[in-house]
Structure 1
Amino acid sequence: MNKSAAKTLIERYFRQLTDGCGNASCTNECCASSQNFEPLDKNAAAIKSLELFKNNAKLCDLHISKKDVSSASGVDRQISLEDRKGDFSDIHHLTEDNICTMLSFCEKAHDYSAAAQAIGRVFSNSETLMRSFKRDKAENTKEPQPENHSKQPEESEMGAAAFPKYDARDISDSCDVDINAVRRVFEKILSIEEIQAALVDALIFITPNLELDLEYLDVYETNHDYLNIFVIVMENTNLHSPEYLEVALPQFCKAMSKLPEEAQARLARVWSQFGLSHIRRMMETFQQLITFTVVSNEYDADDLVNDDETVVAATKCLKVVFYASILGGEIDVGHNEEEEEDYDSEELSLHELMGEERIYKRGPRVNPLETELGVRAIDSRKPLIPFEEFVNDSLNEVLEMDKDFTFFKVDGESKFSFQTCPFILSVITKNQGLYYDNRIRMYGERRLTAFYSMMQGREPTPFLELKVRRDHIIDDAMIRLEIIAMENPCDLKKQLVVEFEGEQGVDEGGISKEFFQLFLEEIFNPDIGMFRYDEDTKLFWFSPSSLENDAQFTLIGIVLGLAIYNSCILDVHFPMVVYRKLMGKKGTYQDLADLNPILFKSLRNLLDYTENVQDDLMLTFQISQTDLFGNPTLHDLKEKGDHIPVTKENRQEFVDMYADYILNKSVECQFRAFKKGFLMVTSESPMKYLYRPEEVELLICGSRKLDFYALEKTTEYDGGYNKDSQTIKDFWDIIHSFSEEKKKLFLQFTTGTDRAPVGGLGKLKMIIARNGPDTDRLPTSHTCFNALLLPEYSSKEKLREQLLKAITYAKGFGLL
């Protein structure tokens, strides 16, 4: 506990010992209101309060007298303006009516100090604030409906089944705050300077008590109305203003971050019903506090942003808004796949024997708030606020990912890691965390190999070594990987080293890149028949009638996992449903829009059809497909499906079953084997916890946008070249004039892949080094280091000619 919180708690004990709680029937012997209490002078009370603090003794709740209760029931409304004479001391809770009464009086008196004092007093006390703005029980108790503009425009275009709705009102606890009244009140009082100042002071005063109540007294467990305080305060539309950002809002966030998961989940459900503009305003409030705090401070190795209480607390509060945005949007919670198998054998027990069990934790990480809500980020089809808006660029710039990763893996109980709130991190930052995780796993496998070698007296094999023939790359790779997967799957988590037979190159990353590229080119060849290629969508999908066995698909999954594990970008073209399925979701009707737009449009038209479906369309629960050789085959979605007509009443079932067959059942064996291989490499990775499906695609495939101007800005020069060298100027003129296809060839020649890494070409860090004077030799490259060795050609024309020859005919590796 910090000094400020301890001081506040001691003061509360002191007031209890001197003034009491006001309850004439109090039985707390350490309260002045108790009949058995012996009065203490101030010195004795001060000593006693310290003793109670050390023993974490009971604190009484503030007792409201009968007079106050009658006031709370509305009696104060009967008092005329003339009788008040500016005295609102009998108001112990706030309603829209009594605030209007106060404002009317103060407006006539041209003095708002009395209203400011009364409002400030209520907002300074948790007991009075939580009883304010209660909805009349006789009124309609429904929560406010989302605003019209929060509805996604695509919904009307995609049919009734396009986005299954998740109704938060079905599972949320009711919130008895009259939220519309609160908004009307804030609209009236926030423009009054005296009241605005009183609200700021009140929030500063109340927040230490809120923090203590939640951290030490568990007040929410005994009174769920305590959540009303946070609902009311967050309706203050001025929270982002400078007068709040300095002290009041940071303290409020610290208090809110102490809410238990159950309360945070309930708050997310309540907020999810408020509509887009209100949720966005709260998101922007917390984001502004994070940005303001980050840019106002300097962080270093001894003073990390992870230790900044304000940033951490605001991030935790932003997490509640993040899930409110998910709950208020389009959610698919009913199509989760079966639990994944555990593909690890005995390796973890060895790590435990070596004292590394904290680093190599068994099982996936669990998000407690997701568990409480019963909803995961991956369940979101379209949140109210796009995911990208929750990323805070200022925070990502100062976050030291190596330290944060350590907190995430090892010191999670004592140190906060922003990876527990991955929504705030950019893909680039997450990629750094995944890189550290993969590298530590590789080093761990090397140590285990050394341990085995000493125990068994044999030569260590610290790497996953693949020796393949360029003309037999599929056969060689699959035989070797199949042996490893069967005999010692732990070896798949070693660093990959590839050798092309008959070539002299040493694999520092470049040879692996070419191996993956050549492997995929062959495996996705339609002639092999494992995948089907759609000319319209330019995407591959699993062939339901493939003649290959499950082991072949498992090995392809292994290769995909190895590429991620070894930070290699692949030129694969899968629909997004593949990545959703890898992350644990089944394919649904919505996924057909990406995989098969024509079929998706036909099914959508069926759902939207207003005439007689059965007579006009004459569909049954039997569908037609084509096999590997293009021959039509029939499949019954139901038993005797050819005798079951599709009607207006059962068309939704038909659409769901059709999509389920295409995306899941028809390729179940193939995809299960593929996913098994993928998880043999990535099962312990935090990837599933940190990434969304679209981010996994970016991680595997890289960016398709090739910005060579960004690459030019970040390229470094060596060997006598600099950015002003004539050869370099000519070089970039030539590159920018290339067609898109030639640019990809150049990128392939220099880096080993024709895709940009996560973050774009500006993150590539290419090196161009001078390789001697004018010569007839072609440019060469070290793809392992993204290095281009460029002779200083005598003319721009010769540079273009030699460069085109190099990128067009380059193949293979040799020692220079």
Structure 2
Amino acid sequence: PNSSATSSLQLSMYTFLGKLMGVAIRGHHCLNLDLPSLLWNPLVHQTVTLKDLEAIDALCAQTLDKVANLEGEGVTEATFRDLIPYTFTTTSSDGRVVELLPDGEHRPVEWHTRHLFVSLTKQYRLNEFQQQIRAIRRGLQLVVPVRFLHFFTGSQVERLVCGTSTIDIDTLKAHTRYVGYSATDQVIRWFWEVMEGFPQRERQLFLRFAWGRSRLPLRSAGQWEQEMEIQRPYHHDRRPPRFHPGPPGAAAAAGVPHVDEGDVGDAGGPSSSAAGGGGGVAPRREDTMLPSSHTCFFQVDLPAYSSAAILRQKLLYAITEGIAIDADHAAQDINWENVT
């Protein structure tokens, strides 16, 4: 949250966010939010600690811990002022200098006042977003009964609103169906092997590529409003779209692959692809294609690649580079804290 967002309009926006959270809980729809425990815990009146602050400002949390335990660092009253040249101020999450005491900017922290400095800084930083959190809670309680929230911790409410950030491949596989493929086809086995080998960051990128979100719903089957569909491109008529209107030479000059009718298998029978699993574009042509997705429908068009290495290369490129054309993804890069 932005602790400077205190106008009526800005707080009403936070209230609206709370309403969206309530709708997400009631409708089992995941919101793609990345918010710290410093927000989720106070939302349900759960105590916050320096560990919560460390998640958004590690330097501040570590500094407070050191100042509170200077004796263990070998600092004495005689050396304190030279080593700890602080005043009674702190820096807010949005970069503002905040005075912890009247005229705090001109009041140096002394050996005998160091614990007061730590206490006041913790009090401010751990409660910095109270106005915004109260506004979110107001909106949330308009949709979800207040007594309902008392049964959950902050992390549990986060999972209810956002789903789980850990992408479990077995769970994803259990909620996947196939069109033009079967679960036993070689290319599908390769796909899941590649997904198993991805770290969590790349699994989240894949989910964003395929579904426009980076978290899975909770494990309960009833909370998946859609299942993933993996389909083979052009498996119905086995005729790919024309890549270019001109002759092969013009396409090559433009760097666009050219497909002739002879490169596509007969419409009357399955391809002899080494990847297996029905007909489609000739294997050597499918190796030049990238996976594509339809995020509204949680669909992935997966060409029948001829090896696991090619599948991994093409999939990794699609989920890391192809996402740049996504307007929703681009919106995340906006400096929202300066938007009023």
The yes-or-no answer on 1:612 pairing with 2:73 is no
Contact 1:624 1:634 in 2 (8 A): yes
Find the counterpart in structure 2 of residue 89 from structure 1: none
- Which residue does 1:729 correspond to in 2? 189
Q: Distance in 2 between matches of 1:729 and 1:749?
A: 20
Query: Could you tell me how far apart the structure 2 residues matched to 1:543 and 1:661 are?
Result: 11
RMSD of aligned residue pairs (Cα, Å): 4.2
- After superposition, the C-alpha distances for 1:645-680 in whole angstroms (9 at most, x for unaligned) are 64555433332221121232x444333223322332
Call closer, same or farther: CA 1:747–1:760 in 2, change over 3 Å: farther
SS in structure 1 of the partner of residue 97 of structure 2: strand
**Partner in structure 2 of residue 796 of structure 1:** 306
Structure showing greater Rg: 1
Letter in 2 for 1:605: K
For residues 588-603 of structure 1, the aligned pairs below 5 Å read 588-603=49-64
| Higher helix residue share | 1
Say whether the 8 Å CA contact 1:580–1:587 is kept in structure 2: yes
CA apart distance, 1:607: 1.2
Does the 8 Å CA contact 1:730/1:796 hold for their aligned counterparts? no
Distance 1:774 1:579, change over 3 A: same
Kept after mapping to 2: 8 A contact 1:569/1:702: yes
1:298-697 superposed matches below 5 A: 541-544=1-4, 549-585=10-46, 587-610=48-71, 611-612=76-77, 615=81, 617=84, 619-620=86-87, 622-625=88-91, 633-635=97-99, 637-641=100-104, 646-647=109-110, 649-664=112-127, 666-684=128-146, 686-689=148-151, 691-697=152-158
Query: Post-superposition shift, 1:802?
Result: 8.3
Aligned-partner SS, 1:682: coil
- 1:359-394 per-position Cα deviation (integer Å, ceiling 9, x unaligned): xxxxxxxxxxxxxxxxxxxxxxxxxxxxxxxxxxxx
- For 1:100-179, list aligned pairs within 5 A: none
Cα distance in 2 between the residues matched to 1:736 and 1:653: 51
Give the counterpart letter for 1:746 in structure 2: F
* Rounded Cα–Cα distance in structure 1 between residues aligned with 2:81 and 2:218: 52
8 A Cα contact 1:707 1:760, kept in partner: no
Counterpart of 1:776? Answer: 240
Question: How far 1:583 moved relative to its partner?
Answer: 0.6
Deviations 1:579-603 (A, max 9, x none): 1110114645453233322111111
Aligned to 1:320: none
Taking a change above 3 Å as real, the CA distance of residues 796 and 747 of structure 1, as seen in their structure-2 partners, is farther
Name the structure 1 match of 2:333: none
Q: Which has the higher contact order (CA 8 A, sep 6+)?
A: 2
The 1:667/1:766 distance shift into structure 2, 3 A limit, reads closer
Q: Once the 2 structures are TM-superposed, how far is the Cα of residue 551 of structure 1 from its aligned partner?
A: 1.7
Relative to structure 1, is the Cα distance of residues 722 and 685 closer, same or farther in structure 2, using a 3 angstrom cutoff? farther
Distance 1:601 1:730, change over 3 A: closer
Determine which of 188, 207, 210 is the counterpart of 1:747.
207
Change (3 A) 1:775 1:612: farther
Alignment correspondent of 1:517: none
Partner of 2:163: 702
Change (3 A) 1:751 1:647: same
Shift of 1:623: 0.2
Q: List gaps (5 residues or longer) in structure 1.
A: 1-540
Distance 2:68 2:60 in 1: 13
- Partners in 2 of 1:683 and 1:731 — Cα distance? 43
CA contact (8 A) 1:715 1:768 kept: no
The unaligned stretches of length 5 or more in structure 2 are: 242-290, 328-340
How far apart are residue 578 of structure 1 and its match? 0.9
Q: Does the aligned pair in 1 maintain the 2:50–2:122 contact within 8 Å?
A: yes
Measured in 2, the distance between the counterparts of 1:775 and 1:716 equals 25
Return the alpha-carbon distance in structure 1 between the equivalents of residues 142 and 135 of structure 2. 11
CA–CA distance in 1 between the matches of 2:295 and 2:91? 48
In structure 1, distance between residues paired with 2:199 and 2:141: 38
Native 8 Å contact 1:588 1:660 kept in 2? no
Structure 1 residues 645 and 692, CA gap change in structure 2 (3 angstroms): same
Shift of 1:733: 4.7
CA contact (8 A) 1:706 1:760 kept: no
State yes or no: 1:756 paired with 2:221: no
Q: Assess, with a 3 A threshold, how the Cα gap between structure 1 residues 612 and 590 changes in structure 2: closer, same or farther.
A: farther
User: Is the CA contact (8 Å cut-off) linking 2:230 and 2:301 kept in structure 1?
Assistant: yes
Aligned to 1:90: none
Cα distance in 2 for residues equivalent to 1:660 and 1:715: 45
> Structure 2 CA distance, aligned partners of 1:702 and 1:779?
24
- What is the match of residue 332 of structure 2? none
Q: Could you say what secondary structure the match of 2:132 adopts?
A: helix
Q: 2:211 touches 2:295 (CA, 8 Å); kept in 1?
A: yes
Question: How far off is 1:606 after superposition?
Answer: 1.3
**Structure 2 CA distance for aligned equivalents of residues 801 and 564 of structure 1:** 37
Cα distance between partner residues in 2 of 1:773 and 1:804: 28
User: Identity of aligned pairs, percent?
Assistant: 24
TM-score normalised according to structure 2 size: 0.59
Shift of 1:558: 2.5
Label 1:569 to 1:725 Cα distance change in 2 as closer, same or farther (>3 A). Answer: same
1:235 matched residue in structure 2: none
C-alpha displacement of 1:724? 1.6
Within a 5 Å distance, the mapping from 1:288-307 to structure 2 comes to: none
Distance 2:10 2:181 in 1: 54
